[in-house]
Amino acid sequence: MKEFAYQRAFDVPGALALLDAGSDARFLGGGTNLVDLMKAGVERPARLVDVRGLPLNRVEPTADGGLRIGATVTNSDLAAHPEVRRRYPALAQAVLAGASGQLRNMATVGGNLLQRTRCGYFTDVTRPCNKRVPGSGCPAVEGEHRNHAILGASGHCVAVHPSDMAVALTAFDAVVSYETADGPGELPLTEFYVPVGDTPHRETSLPRGALITGVILPPAPVAARSRYRKVRERASYAFAIGSVAAALDVEGGVVREARLALGAVASRPWRARAAERALTGARADGEAFAAAADAELAAANPLPRNAYKVALTRNLMVAVLTGLAEEAAR
């Protein structure tokens, strides 16, 4: 592991100044992803600026009835927060479905959003990988891709985004707030992650050197009836092979509003807009749920060894929507 310097920041201007102070530096949240990648030689920063001492560790209501989540709130604190559990239950469920208790105690919201893919070629520095070394190739297309993308991929990279939390945030129209030396900015999560295209090494539209300061959840009454369901190869401590965050508002047996996002299917959390459109105004029954899933997955383009994900995701969407509709009917 390459030697590196370690510095702590205690306010936002101080963190930006430390990052900007010369040698190749990176912000450090809980370190649960970055430090692993440094040990593997994938990341080689000369300096780490620890942001856990910043005053960004609160979950607070916003004036319009949403929530503002600070970037250094730990995954454990986020999942346990009473307002998150009450107003956005799928978000609490998604966070609890990720990693382990010890990891969630360390991991931060900012770090979770920026965690890197778990593609085995990306973390093996002896292999080519367009995401790690642009232009070197993508061995996953012809090789091991069982857990790779079925939507929105390109021939340059077929990896999926690993975050559970980001899937629920995407369903609820979350907005990422950040600070740079030039001032603050905001990015809806659907624009924060960029399509993979021919630049898989460029994963977000966050300006270079920006510090994520928080995530804003707009008010969403529909989110109070929401669920996150994750399928993985073992019961805990494993990444998703498919996941769904969904919220449903049903009145008189008809869907008034639906929110849906999918995980482990694309290089970014996948907002299922075609399914949402198909659901709005439809009867809240199995036939409509299957039709909505099919509308979304019509764009799926699986690889030879991950076609199972199309059926898995379809079944997951139908099961989650059915559960929410049954709850609404009680």
Ligand X SMILES: Cc1cc2nc3c(=O)[nH]c(=O)nc-3n(C[C@H](O)[C@H](O)[C@H](O)COP(=O)(O)OP(=O)(O)OC[C@H]3O[C@@H](n4cnc5c(N)ncnc54)[C@H](O)[C@@H]3O)c2cc1C
For ligand SF4, the binding residues (CB under 6 A) are 117, 119, 121-122, 129-131, 138-140, 157-159, 200
Least distance (Å) between residue 127 CB and ligand SF4 = 7
263 binds, among ligand SF4, ligand X, none (CB under 5 to 8 A by kind): none
Rounded-to-integer distance, Cα 325 and Cα 225, Å: 10
Rounded-to-integer distance, Cα 184 and Cα 84, Å: 25
In sequence order, which residues have a C-beta less than 8 Å from that of residue 325 and are 6 or more positions away?
248, 250, 284, 285, 289
Contact between 29 and ligand X per CB under 6 A: yes
Contact between 138 and ligand X per CB under 6 A: no
Of 31 and 53, nearer to ligand X (C-beta) is: 31
Among 16, 18, 25, 51, binds ligand X (CB under 6 A): 51
Among 18, 28, 278, 310, binds ligand X (CB under 6 A): 28
117 binds, among ligand X, ligand SF4, none (CB under 5 to 8 A by kind): ligand SF4
Contact between 38 and ligand X per CB under 6 A: no
Rounded-to-integer distance, Cα 297 and Cα 308, Å: 12
Contact between 163 and ligand X per CB under 6 A: yes
Among 66, 73, 87, 108, binds ligand X (CB under 6 A): 108
Contact between 282 and ligand X per CB under 6 A: no
Beta-sheet strand order (sheet of 226-231) = 226-231, 242-251, 254-263, 270-271
Least distance (Å) between residue 130 CB and ligand SF4 = 4
Please choose, from the candidates 19, 43, 210, 40, the residue with its C-alpha nearest in 3D space to the C-alpha of residue 110: 210
Please choose, from the candidates 232, 258, 251, the residue with its C-alpha nearest in 3D space to the C-alpha of residue 316: 232
Least distance (Å) between residue 100 CB and ligand X = 7
Contact between 110 and ligand X per CB under 6 A: yes
Least distance (Å) between residue 257 CB and ligand SF4 = 35
Question: What six digits make up the tokens of 256?
Answer: 């008034």
Rounded-to-integer distance, Cα 256 and Cα 261, Å: 17
Sign of the dihedral through C-alpha 187, 188, 192, 194: negative
Among 114, 231, 247, 297, binds ligand X (CB under 6 A): 114
Of 138 and 246, nearer to ligand SF4 (C-beta) is: 138
Place of tokens 């900007």: 20
Among 115, 177, 226, 313, binds ligand X (CB under 6 A): 115
Beta-sheet strand order (sheet of 183-188) = 59-61, 67-70, 211-217, 175-180, 183-188
